[in-house]
A = this chain, B = another copy of it.
Amino acid sequence: MQIGFIGTGVMGNAIAVNLLKAGHTLTVFNRTKSKTDNLVNLGATWADSPKLVAQKSDLVFTMVGMPTDVENVYFNDDGIFAGLTANKTVVDLTTSRPDLAKKIYSYAKSHAIFALDAPVSGGDIGAKNATLTIMVGGELSVFNQIEAIFKEIGQTVNYFGPAGSGQHTKMANQIMIAGTMTGLTEMLLYAKAANLDLNKVLATVGGGSAANWSLSNYGPRILKDDYTPGFFARHFLKDLRIALDEADKMNLTLPATTEAKRLYEVMVDECHLGDQGTQGLINSYK
Residues of A at the B interface (CB closer than 8 Å) are 98, 121-123, 126, 133, 135, 156, 158, 160-161, 164-165, 168-169, 171-191, 193-197, 200-201, 203-205, 207-215, 217, 243, 246-247, 250-257, 259-260, 262-263, 285-286
B183 lies within 8 A of A286 (CB): no
Report B-chain residues with C-beta under 8 Å of the C-beta of A252: 189-190, 193
Min distance, Cβ A137 to any Cβ of chain B, angstroms? 9
Query: Contact between A208 and B204 (Cβ–Cβ < 8 Å)?
Result: no
Are B255 and A177 interface neighbours, CB within 8 A?
A: no
The answer on a CB contact under 8 Å between A172 and B156 is: no
A172 touches B184 (CB 8 A): no
Which residue on B lies nearest to A135, using beta carbons? B204
In Å, the complex CA distance between A101 and B164 comes to: 52
B250 touching A256, Cβ below 8 Å? no
Please report whether the interface of chain A is mostly helix, strand, loop or mixed according to DSSP. Answer: helix
The answer to whether A179 touches B171 (Cβ under 8 A) is no
Q: Is the CB–CB distance between A186 and B257 below 8 Å?
A: yes
Residues of B within 8 A of A188 (CB): 172
- In contact, B250 and A176 (Cβ under 8 angstroms): no
A173-B205 contact in complex given A180-B183, A250-B193, A252-B193, C-beta closer than 8 Å: yes
Picked from B164, B190, B246, B262, the residue with its CB within 8 Å of the CB of A247 is B190
A121 to B212, CA, bound (A): 15
Nearest 10 A/B pairs, CB to CB: A179-B183, A212-B212, A182-B256, A168-B194, A176-B210, A193-B250, A186-B254, A176-B187, A179-B179, A259-B259
Whether the pair A213, B217 counts as a contact (CB closer than 8 A) is no
Bound Cα distance A257, B208 (Å): 19
B254–A259 CB distance below 8 A: no
Contact B195 A161, beta carbon cutoff 8 Å: yes
Q: A121-B210, A176-B210, A180-B180 are in contact. Are A193 and B256 (CB under 8 A)?
A: no
Known: A183-B179, A253-B286. A121 touches B158 (CB 8 A): no
Q: Are B212 and A180 in contact (CB under 8 A)?
A: yes
Q: Which residue, of A205, A217, A255, has the highest number of chain B Cβ atoms within 10 A?
A: A205
B200 touches A158 (CB 8 A): yes
- Contact present for A160 and B200 (CB under 8 Å): yes
In the complex, the answer to whether B209 meets A254 with C-beta atoms within 8 Å is no
Instruction: Establish whether residues A208 and B213, one from each chain, have CB atoms under 8 Å apart when the complex forms.
Output: yes
